[in-house]
Structure 1
């Protein structure tokens, strides 16, 4: 079977991402089922399938039992498409005699005549056009005319055998309005593509598809997010990190702050992931920006995906702290993108990150924050799996990844909305603590897989000149609990003054 599969000709659907999911496209000369409730994008995919064939020189035929030709052409025009001579549209209408009350008879059921007449009209249209690609829209009409499962199955088999003898690749559309539980065509079709639409409690609708069957052909399993926009359907194949690996020299990336690099044991290894964890306001974004700024200064490219903050305010605030992100962006070395979790599916987000790493060759990627990313996920388990695959992919491409997570609470025992500490190679922990009548900030490294690091806790401040990290706080205990106890002979605390307390 494997040898036969390799030599079977494949026809592309032309839908971005779908051919990747289908391992190249649809095997030529077979019948495929495209099913989904109304509004999931069946007609759009079918039209793109025919237009792709027209561009390759194949004649196409769209047989419609539910929409008018004008509706189809208007729908194509809404995506900027024109159905030329190589895409014929045949609109099946009931015979005039069946619409005339004077010609109604009672010896035979009208459905017997209508089903046979409809099938004959379909075959006649094929004989006239002689297409290589056929779309039949939709099976719900044929199911209603058949009135029984046996007659429906026989009719679908007749259609399959007829088109198979002609060598045409056929796409059957089913809107599931007649009987969503009827799986008759599933056993007959060579492959089945199922489209789904999800309606979250808040935000835009989410669409996904799954290949539930494909005879003799490997395909990418599971659910794949997709969108419908002007220009057609775009599918975002589920990311499988194991399929992507790039050779690169693993070097150490520094932050430009000597004390922070010392805390990290010299820096962070290229191709690793770093999680910056802490309560709101401790400065998680600033730590990430310190590494981004250092990467841009080295002449590398970086990408920052911001879920939580409006970019205008973010640029103004970080500029006051010594990070001119707009200037970095103008040089072409920094890509900054604001992500709306309510409008973007996780699959589409992963594809955006992947495109920028692949095409722009970004070596530093920051996601700020996972709290916002979680809002785009229906389940926490799915979030962990998405993050795992994304981090593994970025690591294998040699990209250094930074993630931020805001913990609940300010001092004492705090919890994160989702635990991804075991996924990250390095974990930087930020904390508030009280000392000498003021609230201060401390940083420590609680995990680093790629080498040794300091086990100390250092105080840090954020002011007009960015990040300033102090000496180890070796004269205190209980800093991570929020209320330290002085146990030394001298206080290594950083002096307060004009440095400012601005943080992010």
Structure 2
């Protein structure tokens, strides 16, 4: 057995899934019986195999008792994940020939009595032969059908529990929830209950989540946690709790790298803060975030960009036209950039991707472009706010600068954002179109900054082959933020020269 011990002296059995062990506060207490339940296709068998293979890797004797799948099916499933089941005992429980003979099934005793007793005896015989420390029984639905009544079913489960407790085995019972009524019998008997769920959105891939419904004598991470089934097994993404992650860092002020914008920002952005870039389509939100990332790279840091809305090839081409070679920065490892498909991603998986960049690659500037695409990954807006709140708090406490973009509906006049996260961000930069002298122009202003004073003016913004340039404060117009300005009787300001 493994030599890992808890404070009470009882060992823990790892599940073989890192994220699930995190949720369970270390793994499963040994010599106890657990229930893993979920509808067909939620990943119960895969999770069970990972649990047993973790035991095999620790030189433990492990037994898989299957009542619903054949051994060949199990080995094919394992091969699909690149696993070998060598060292794992598999007992395929098939009914004896006498029970398959219709003539011999007719007796004064109910055939279910004979079948249940025979099934139990065969399970005990397999355990006596192998003497395992980890056991999986797949699945309880077969035993439930043989028991026929809730009382007999409960007695059978209790008998299994006491039998395995005497043999100091850690047992997973799998239940596919195919019964017409949801019997909670095993919930009361099991030491812990793990539920796997699969959700089918109206569009996109299925979403899976796991919840620990019960764990006696142990604090665990409650609530739902996203997970996926990939080649190699289950990947569980524990729900992020920002309070658990705190680091010390210098809250210095960092330059945005854009002349004029630092003046608007009162000197720049504070380290460990979040910035929201808000505006209609085409105002330059993505370009602004790229420049923030490039400024971080010039300081010697690593930046990460998560792009929801734009194809990377087009983004690279646009940036190259402004003199920014994103491909080279990516090849050098200074820029971590990922194209995100909202239809294939769960919020938990996205959070795990961001944490990976921060904790393993030491990224200090995080760009999410845009929250509109992130919202498409999770339509329930109220939950989006909670997920984003935890993520921003986590990034702030890691000393990261987070840049988010939100595209507002409309081009001029009254505009609305699909989701309001302005109160979450420490700084809000507002971009606008406005019409003046027969031309469409861009304007930028800072409407919120928690960390200190900022310039209250509105500046015109120019985008051309020189990059992004800010002009002096616009004092000749009124109503620019509404997109319908009035010209005052003053001469127009001259266009500024580019600042290198």
Please report the TM-score for the alignment, with normalisation by the length of structure 1. Answer: 0.96
C-alpha separation in 2, matches of 1:318 and 1:478: 31
Q: Is the 8 A contact 1:5 1:217 kept in 2?
A: no
SS at match of 1:173: strand
- Residue 419 of structure 1 is matched in structure 2 by 420
2:55 alignment partner in structure 1? 53
Q: What whole-Å deviation, never above 9, does each CA across 1:321-378 have from its counterpart, x for those lacking one?
A: 2221111112211011000000111100100000110010001000000000000004
Give 1:98 shift. Answer: 1.2
Report deviation, 1:4. Answer: 8.7
Structure 1: state its 5+ residue gaps: 500-504
Aligned to 1:326: 327
Q: Which residue is 1:73 aligned to? A: 75
Q: Note the C-alpha offset of 1:90.
A: 0.4
Whether the aligned pair in 1 keeps the contact of 2:308 and 2:369 (CA below 8 Å) is yes
Q: Matched residues in 2 for 1:104 and 1:338: separation?
A: 61
Superposed displacement of residue 162, structure 1: 0.4
Equivalent residue, structure 2, for 1:439: 440
Write the distance in 1 (CA, Å) between the matches of 2:36 and 2:379. Answer: 25
Residue equivalent to 1:385: 386
Could you say which residue in structure 2 is the equivalent of 1:115? 116
Deviates more, 1:330-339 or 1:485-494: 485-494
CA shift digits 1:236-265 (9 cap, x unpaired): 000111000111111111122221101100
- For 1:408, the equivalent position in structure 2 comes to 409
Deviation at 1:318, TM superposition (A): 1.4
Does the CA contact (< 8 Å) of 1:459 and 1:494 recur in 2? Answer: no
- What pairs up with 1:79-478 in 2 under 5 angstroms? 79-85=81-87, 87-179=88-180, 181-478=182-479
User: Secondary structure of the residue that 1:342 maps to in structure 2?
Assistant: helix
CA deviations 1:449-488 (Å, max 9, x no partner) are 0111000000001111211000001222111111211235
Distance (whole Å) between structure 1 residues aligned to residue 72 and residue 447 of structure 2: 64
Root-mean-square deviation over aligned CA pairs = 1.5
Partner SS, residue 36 of structure 2: strand
Q: Does 1:29 align with 2:66?
A: no
* CA distance in structure 2 between the aligned counterparts of 1:121 and 1:140, rounded to whole angstroms: 17
What is the Cα deviation at residue 410 of structure 1? 0.7
Distance 1:339 1:353 in 2: 12
DSSP-derived class of the 1:481 partner: coil
- Over 3 Å counting, the alpha-carbon distance change for 1:79 and 1:4 in structure 2 is closer
* Aligned mates of 2:224, 2:97 — CA distance in 1: 45
Instruction: State the Cα distance separating 1:189 from its structure 2 match.
Output: 0.4
Q: Report the TM-score when normalising by structure 2.
A: 0.97
> Matches of 2:481 and 2:489 in 1, distance apart?
17
Corresponding residue of 1:487: 488
| 2:393 aligned counterpart, secondary structure | helix
CA distance in 1, matches of 2:321, 2:203: 35
Distance (whole Å) between structure 2 residues aligned to residue 165 and residue 17 of structure 1? 30
**Distance of 2:452 and 2:8 partners within structure 1:** 46
Shift of 1:6: 4.5
Give CA-to-partner distance per residue, 1:22-74, whole Å, 9 cap, x none.
10000000000000000000000000100000111110000000000110111
Q: Give, in whole Å, the separation in 2 of the partners of 1:461 and 1:300.
A: 27
Q: Do the aligned partners of 1:431 and 1:443 also contact (CA within 8 Å) in 2?
A: yes
Q: Which moved more, 1:145-154 or 1:173-182?
A: 173-182
> 1:502 aligns to what?
none
Displacement after TM superposition at 1:301 (Å): 0.5
For the pair 1:20 / 2:12, whether they are aligned, the reply is: no
Of 87-96 and 136-145, deviating more is 87-96
The count of residues paired between Structure 1 and Structure 2 equals 494
Separation of aligned partners in 2, 1:495 and 1:265: 20
Measure the CA separation in 2 of the matches of 1:24 and 1:44.
Answer: 20
1:492 Cα offset (Å): 2.3
* Residue 153 (structure 1) shift: 0.4
In the alignment, the residues of structure 1 paired with residue 107 and residue 85 of structure 2 have an alpha-carbon distance, to the nearest angstrom, of 42
Identify which range, 479-488 or 343-352, moves more after superposition.
Answer: 479-488
Q: Determine if contact 2:143/2:153 at 8 Å carries over to the other structure.
A: yes
Match of 2:44 among 42, 45, 69: 42
Q: Are the aligned partners of 2:259 and 2:469 in contact in 1 as well (CA < 8 Å)?
A: no
